[in-house]
Structure 1
């Protein structure tokens, strides 16, 4: 090993991670309570130890070099090991403590807080840091080893991953109750194609699954309206902009209140599985190991929670 690497400090790595996260020296300085010159100094010292530049400026944007990508993976592993040590020391004192860093695709964000609440009842000293992402962002976070675990559907087949399917995610068609289709029975997907379809942004796993499924069923919508989130899709349907294919979890309350109507489409719901995912060979902290074991073992609890959301256990 290069002796210069042994002179790196944890503080330098914290500053480096902050710059990588914010892609800005000034924003990183604000986040970690340093001045911008102090951040610049720490990065210059780190670059001297590495022997390579860590960032490139193109225009006014900051980009990571290949050396920075490698250092980011290593620093994430170092801090993960330290956090794991803290958890293990707590475990030796008789209680599981620490933080679970969990990323979830947006369609799962309605169910996951209830899932974590069930876990926290057994392990009350565990905290949660939850990041909501779309499918493309989830894949990038997996590649960068950013999180303890991810909850996603459509697990990438070209990556070396461990995954546990644990819950089905039903995708249904919804419309406002006064929509002409809401009063019909025995619909086919092709019957919906004259209505505007509200869709998510590119990179959404739900959008990709719906597009692939509609293409398979030869259902080609004449007009689509792109909205940036599941919430805006839901509100757009309520406002009468069109119909949408959404996770039943995301519209459970609106279906119960009558604000939305599930359309009786023969080819729906489209079922996808939510999976708990991490890179194969990744060292899991005690909290992450315990959460993974909880999901694997507590199928009865998950089934009960799923029933409240109209979901089906995987």
Structure 2
């Protein structure tokens, strides 16, 4: 009967193993902690479902038919798989194993590997997977249950999530070191900046939201004065090439500031300080390994954030 084997229960498979081992219903019942009629009933139901006999009834006891041998082998493999699953789950409970998938917005990729490395050093048997995308892509990964935990700024408002802040996220204005506005003591106002060529992230990114909010009350120059890029790395390269200025996450420019390849501009009302959040869906329970990473990031995540002098 097509699909009949899929309807077989674990109790029936265990009855086959016990009967094959002992050759007697009574002995199998004792081994399983059941009554002989209960074991007989399990065997009867299984043979009826499969439409074939599993045992020869002989004077010496019950002996496997060819079909019974096939079922016995499947039953033994099933038991082995269940035993393996049990051991792995027990290891996960003790944080000896587990897989955690972390989704981060692209701005967080500058520190997320440090955070993950520190966690894995303390929990070397846990496997970590990192998925990088912009804000909309990270939200979609949450929506489709592709990630356990997200590291992002603003959490989604159309998914029920748990979110906790683990650190500050400052945004600053950067320029090439030889730009006339770089390293000035006197603060520049945003109206003056609006006259400059401004480099921005794509629509849908968290950085673009910060940019638009900061310049919302300012009349900017012609639309051609704003150039859109798809990544922080490209924006940094463009600023270093002298193409314009950028309002960017301070956590993306640690190396360039240290090496003098980029400079901060002293701007009134900057830095804009947002927050880094840990986010997970409330309808997706965190496993032991993911829950351990969540606790670790809340406790120690902030110390892995980049340090920018003067901020």
For residues 89 and 235 of structure 1, the distance between their equivalents in structure 2, rounded to whole angstroms, comes to: 49
Q: Cα–Cα, structure 1 residues 186 and 309, in superposed 2: closer, same or farther, change >3 Å?
A: closer
Deviation at 1:141, TM superposition (A): 1.4
Deviation at 1:221, TM superposition (A): 4.7
Q: TM-score, normalised on structure 1?
A: 0.67
For residues 135 and 310 of structure 2, the distance between their equivalents in structure 1, rounded to whole angstroms, comes to: 20
Deviation at 1:144, TM superposition (A): 1.0
Count of residues in Structure 1 that have an aligned counterpart in Structure 2:
229
SS at match of 1:181: coil
Partner of 1:70: none
Q: Answer yes or no: is 1:177 the counterpart of 2:165.
A: no
Deviation at 1:85, TM superposition (A): 6.8
For residues 194 and 213 of structure 1, the distance between their equivalents in structure 2, rounded to whole angstroms, comes to: 14
For residues 248 and 160 of structure 2, the distance between their equivalents in structure 1, rounded to whole angstroms, comes to: 29
For residues 132 and 122 of structure 2, the distance between their equivalents in structure 1, rounded to whole angstroms, comes to: 24
Q: Cα–Cα, structure 1 residues 168 and 219, in superposed 2: closer, same or farther, change >3 Å?
A: farther
SS at match of 1:186: coil
Taking the TM superposition and a 5 Å limit, the aligned residue runs for 1:138-217 are 138-184=138-184, 185-215=186-216, 217=217
**Is the CA contact 1:168–1:273 (under 8 Å) kept in the aligned structure 2?**
yes
Deviation at 1:86, TM superposition (A): 7.1
Bigger Rg, structure 1 or 2: 2
**Is the CA contact 2:151–2:278 (under 8 Å) kept in the aligned structure 1?**
yes
Q: Cα–Cα, structure 1 residues 219 and 90, in superposed 2: closer, same or farther, change >3 Å?
A: farther
For residues 86 and 203 of structure 1, the distance between their equivalents in structure 2, rounded to whole angstroms, comes to: 43
SS at match of 1:104: strand
The CA RMSD over aligned residues, in Å, is 2.6
Deviation at 1:179, TM superposition (A): 0.9
For residues 176 and 198 of structure 2, the distance between their equivalents in structure 1, rounded to whole angstroms, comes to: 13
SS at match of 2:290: helix
Deviation at 1:220, TM superposition (A): 2.4
For residues 114 and 309 of structure 1, the distance between their equivalents in structure 2, rounded to whole angstroms, comes to: 16
Q: TM-score, normalised on structure 2?
A: 0.67
For residues 175 and 225 of structure 1, the distance between their equivalents in structure 2, rounded to whole angstroms, comes to: 15
For residues 165 and 86 of structure 2, the distance between their equivalents in structure 1, rounded to whole angstroms, comes to: 29
Q: Cα–Cα, structure 1 residues 120 and 311, in superposed 2: closer, same or farther, change >3 Å?
A: farther
Deviation at 1:212, TM superposition (A): 1.9
For residues 174 and 85 of structure 1, the distance between their equivalents in structure 2, rounded to whole angstroms, comes to: 54
For residues 285 and 116 of structure 2, the distance between their equivalents in structure 1, rounded to whole angstroms, comes to: 21
SS at match of 2:305: helix
Deviation at 1:164, TM superposition (A): 1.1
For residues 310 and 85 of structure 1, the distance between their equivalents in structure 2, rounded to whole angstroms, comes to: 51
For residues 150 and 169 of structure 1, the distance between their equivalents in structure 2, rounded to whole angstroms, comes to: 15
Deviation at 1:87, TM superposition (A): 5.1
Match among 261, 286, 289 for residue 287 of structure 1: 289
Taking the TM superposition and a 5 Å limit, the aligned residue runs for 1:1-314 are 88-91=89-92, 94-184=94-184, 185-215=186-216, 217-218=217-218, 220-222=220-222, 223-296=225-298, 298=299, 301-306=300-305, 308=307
For residues 232 and 306 of structure 2, the distance between their equivalents in structure 1, rounded to whole angstroms, comes to: 21
SS at match of 1:277: strand
For residues 309 and 128 of structure 2, the distance between their equivalents in structure 1, rounded to whole angstroms, comes to: 25
Partner of 1:13: none
SS at match of 2:199: strand
For residues 149 and 311 of structure 1, the distance between their equivalents in structure 2, rounded to whole angstroms, comes to: 31
Q: Cα–Cα, structure 1 residues 167 and 183, in superposed 2: closer, same or farther, change >3 Å?
A: closer
Partner of 1:25: none
**Is the CA contact 1:248–1:310 (under 8 Å) kept in the aligned structure 2?**
no
Deviation at 1:307, TM superposition (A): 6.1
> What runs of 5+ residues in structure 1 fail to find an aligned partner?
8-83
SS at match of 1:182: coil
For residues 219 and 246 of structure 2, the distance between their equivalents in structure 1, rounded to whole angstroms, comes to: 14
